[in-house]
Chain A
Amino acid sequence: MIAEAGHFALLLALAIALIQAIVPLIGAARGDAALMDFARAAAQAQFAFIAVAFGCLTWAFVVSDFTVSLVVQSSHSAKPLLYKVTGVWGNHEGSMVLWVLILALFGAAIAVFGDNLPPALRARVLSVQAMIGVAFLAFIVLTSNPFRRVFPPPADGNGLNPILQDPGLAFHPPLLYLGYVGFSTVFSFAVAALIEGRVDAAWGRWVRPWTLAAWASLTLGIALGSWWAYYELGWGGWWFWDPVENASFMPWLVGAALLHSAIVVEKRDALKSWTILLAILAFSLSLIGTFLVRSGVLSSVHAFAVDPARGVFILVILIVAIGGSLTLYAIRAPSLKSGGLFAPISREAGLVVNNLLLATATLTVFLGTLYPLFLEAMGGAKVSVGPPFFNATFVPLMVPLLFLVPIGSLLAWKRGDLAGALTRLWAAACAVLVIVLAALWLQGGPVGALLGLGLAAWLMAGALVEWAERIRLFRAPFAESVNRAVNLPRSAWGMTIAHFGVGVIVAGITATSAWQIERVQLMRVGDAIEIAGYTVRFAGTDRADGSNYLSRRGIFEVTRDGRAVATMYPEKRFFPVQGMPTTEAAIRTTILADLYIVLGDIEAPNAPGGGAPNFLPEPRPDTAWTVRIYYNPLVPWIWIGAVIAVLGGVVSLTDRRHRVGAPRRSRALVPEPAQGD
C-alpha cells in the first residue's frame, strides 16, 4: 500500500510540474497576476508530493519491505538503521528520487522566499524549474520506477555494497546533489532573464545567494567524497582524477567562476552575458555529470545503472536542456546592454582573469574526461587519461590564478592601482619568504613544493592583509579598527575566510603530494618499520566482528623515541551477505600529518571454493602479512581548508543584501561597503 501511495505521489508531482511549467509562463507573457501567482502554490505542492514519495520509499527501506524490488536489491534486514536509510539513495532509482526531491526543494524555496522578486521573473524562474522537474520525474516514472514490486517476495535482501556502508559516504550524495541541483536555480534565473531580455544589477543580487548555497554544498560534497576515498579505499590518496570525480569537479569550477562574475554584475552592471552563459554552463555540466555517472558509460563505483534506455533518456534531456538554453542565449544575449566600463587594471579586470583561468581549467578537465569516451565511440583505440594529464594541464592554470587572488582583491573597482596593491602586500611577501625558507630548512626540495607552500602562504597572508586593509588595522586607532571590523559587510568577511581556506587547501595538497612516504613490506608478528621518526611494531591480530561483518584487525604499536604514541588497528572485514571483503585503514592524525596503516594480503592458502576468506581463521604465529604504511604530511589541511572555504560561503550568505527573502530595503538603510579605499 505504502509503495503504491509513493508511486501515486510521484505521478501527481509530475502532473503538477507539467502545469507549473506552462501556466506561469503564459501568465508572465500576458501579465496575468493570478496565473503567475499559481507558480508559487504549484512549486510547494510539487515539493510536498515528492517528499511524500521519498518518505514512502524510505519507509519501505526502514521496515525492510521485501515486496519492493529496489529494497531487495540494495538493502538487508540485518543492516544498521543508518544504512537502511542511506541505502535509499545508494542505488540508481532512489538516488534519482533524491535528485528530484532536492530540485523541488529549491523550487519551493524560491516560491517561499522569493518575495523580493518581480512577479513575472519569479513566475518564469519557477516555470523553468518545473520544466527540469518534468524531465526528471518522467525519467523516473518511465525508466526507473523505485516502487516496482516483486512476487513472490524473497526472504531477505541482497544488501548494500559494503564500501558504501560508511557515515562519510552516507551524506556525500545528498550534499553533492544539493550542489549539482542547486545550480538549477541559477540556470532557471538565467533562462528566465533571457526570456525577459533583461539582466541588471538586481538580477546579479538575486542570483548570488543561490550560487553561493549551491557552490558551498558542492564544495562540502566533493570534500566529503574525497575524505571518504582517502580513508576507505586504502590507497593513501585523496583525489584520483577519476571521471566521476571530474564530473562533480567541472560544475564546481564553473560555479566558482560564476560566484565571482555575478559580483561584477551586481556591483558594476558589467559581464552580464558572460555571467548568463556561466549560469547555463554550470547546470549543463551538472547534467553532464549526472549523465556520465548514471548512464553506465563510465566504469566506477558510483555508476549504478547499465540500462541503455536510461542513458538515452538522460542524453535526450541533456540535449534539450543544453541545446535549448544555448539557442535562447544565442538569440537573446546580443541584446543585453552591457553597463559599466573598466580599466585593464581594476577589480573587474582581475575577476575577468579569474573567470578566464577557471573556464580554461574546466575546458582542459572536460577534454581529459570526455576524450577517451569520444575516441571509443568513434571506434578508435581504448585509452585512459590519468592523473599525469590533469596535473600537467590543471596545475599550470591554477598557479597564476591563485597568485593573482590577493592582488585582485586589493584593486579598486573601475580603475585600480597595481603598484599600491603590491606595496600593501609587503607583509604577505614576508610571510612567503619565511615559509619558503623554513620549508627549505626542514625538508629541502623539490623546488615545486617550496613554491607551492609559498603560494599557500601568499594566499593566506594575502587574505589577512586584505582584511587588515579594510578595517585599517594599525593605521587607525584600535577602537576604530574594531568598529570597522564589526561593521564590515558579511560578504567581505566571507571573501577573506574563503580565500584563506583556499590557501590552507593549497598547503595540504602541496605537502602531501611532495612529501608523502610510502612503505610496503611483509611483516610477521614482532616486526617493526621505521617511518618519519615513528617506529611501527606489528603486535599481532585479533577478531573484531561487527553486526553485519566479520573482521580481523591488526594491532600496531606506534612509538617515537622509545615513548608510546598510539596503538592502531587496521582491519580486514568480510561481509557474508555480499561475500565481499573490504579493508579499513587505521589513521592517526596530528593535524600536521597522518600516519596511515593498511593491512594487506595474508600469506596463507585461500579456502577452496571461495568460502570465507583466508584472513578470518587464527593465523599461524609466523604468518606474514603485506602491510602498507603511509606518512601523509598536512593532508588533513585539504579538508580543513575546504570547510573553511565553505564557512566563508555561509558567512557571505548571511550578508543582509544576499539574505534570501530579506525585504528590499532602500539604499539609505544599507551601508555600502567602503569600496576599495
Chain B
Amino acid sequence: MTRKRRRLYILLLFMIGIGTAAALTLTAFRDNLVFFYSPTEIVEKNAPRDRNMRIGGLVEMGSVERTPGSTEVRFRVTDLQNNLTVVYNGALPDLFREGQGVIAQGQLGADGVFRAREVLAKHDENYMPPEVAESLKRSGRWQETIGQGK
C-alpha cells in the first residue's frame, strides 16, 4: 500500500466516523431534546402533552400537600404570573422548600397537571437555577424574589 493510498483510506475512515457521529447525534437529538417551559409559557405556548419536558419556577408558599399514606406529593410551581400543579411520587431533594426555586422533569398530563419523574432543587442557599431566574426576570418579578429568596 502506498503512502497516498493509505492517506486516502484513513481519510475515508474518518469521514465514516464523522458521518456516524452526525447520524447518531441527529437521531438522538430528535428524540431526546428536553425543552424547558415556565408556567406562563405552558399557558401561552400551549405546551405539548405527553412529551418529556422540564418546568421550573418557585414553589408556591403553602402549596405543598402530601397525600396521606403514600409517598405522593403535590405542589404548585409559580413564576409569580401563572402557576402549575406538579405531582411527584418519591423523596424530595434536601433543599426543596416553599418559596425556593425548583426544576422538575416529567410530562404534562391531559388534565394540565405536571407529572414529575425527577425534582431538582438548588444545590445551595445562594443559588437559583438559571432557567428559573430567567423565567422570573421575564415575568417582571425578579427583584421581589432576590430579597426573600435567602
Q: Identify B14's interface contact among A161, A356, A386, CB under 8 A.
A: A356
B33: A residues at CB distance < 8 A: 383-385, 389
> CB distance A392 to B3 under 8 Å?
no
Closest to A362 in B: B21
> CB distance A381 to B17 under 8 Å?
no
Q: Identify B54's interface contact among A384, A389, A581, CB under 8 A.
A: A384
Is A488 part of the contact surface with B, judged by Cβ < 8 Å? no
> CB distance A392 to B31 under 8 Å?
yes
> CB distance B18 to A363 under 8 Å?
yes
Which of the listed residues A357, A367, A382, A383 has the most CB atoms from chain B within 10 Å of its own CB?
A: A382
Q: Within the complex, what minimum Cβ distance (angstroms) separates B60 from chain A?
A: 15
> CB distance A580 to B35 under 8 Å?
no
Is B1 part of the contact surface with A, judged by Cβ < 8 Å? yes
- Secondary structure at the A interface, as helix, strand, loop or mixed, is mixed
> CB distance B36 to A603 under 8 Å?
no
Q: Within the complex, what minimum Cβ distance (angstroms) separates B44 from chain A?
A: 14
- Secondary structure at the B interface, as helix, strand, loop or mixed, is mixed
A580: B residues at CB distance < 8 A: 94-95, 124-125
> CB distance B125 to A579 under 8 Å?
yes
A335 to B105, CA, bound (A): 52
Number of interface residues of B (CB under 8 A): 46
> CB distance A628 to B91 under 8 Å?
yes
A residues 585-604 in Cβ contact with B at 8 Å? 598, 600-601, 603
Q: Given A163-B123, A381-B36: A364 and B21 within 8 A (CB)? A: yes
Interface pairs (12), CB distance under 8 Å: A161-B123, A299-B129, A353-B13, A382-B131, A382-B134, A383-B34, A383-B36, A392-B28, A396-B24, A520-B89, A580-B124, A582-B94
A521: B residues at CB distance < 8 A: 71
A214 to B145, CA, bound (A): 45
B94: A residues at CB distance < 8 A: 572, 580-583
Is B10 part of the contact surface with A, judged by Cβ < 8 Å? yes
Q: Within the complex, what minimum Cβ distance (angstroms) separates B71 from chain A?
A: 5
Q: Identify A393's interface contact among B6, B18, B25, CB under 8 A.
A: B25
A249 to B21, CA, bound (A): 17
B residues 2-32 in Cβ contact with A at 8 Å? 2-3, 6, 9-10, 13-14, 16-18, 20-21, 24-25, 27-29, 31-32
Q: Mark A390-414, 1 if CB is under 8 A from B, else 0.
A: 0011001100000000000000000
A contact residues vs B (CB 8 Å cutoff): 161, 163, 299-301, 338, 341-344, 352-353, 356-357, 359-360, 363-364, 367-368, 371, 381-386, 388-389, 392-393, 396-397, 520-522, 572, 578-583, 598, 600-601, 603, 610, 624, 626-628
A327 to B25, CA, bound (A): 28
Q: Mark B120-133, 1 if CB is under 8 A from A, else 0.
A: 00011101011100
B residues 66-124 in Cβ contact with A at 8 Å? 66, 69-71, 73, 89-92, 94-95, 97, 105, 123-124
> CB distance B97 to A610 under 8 Å?
yes
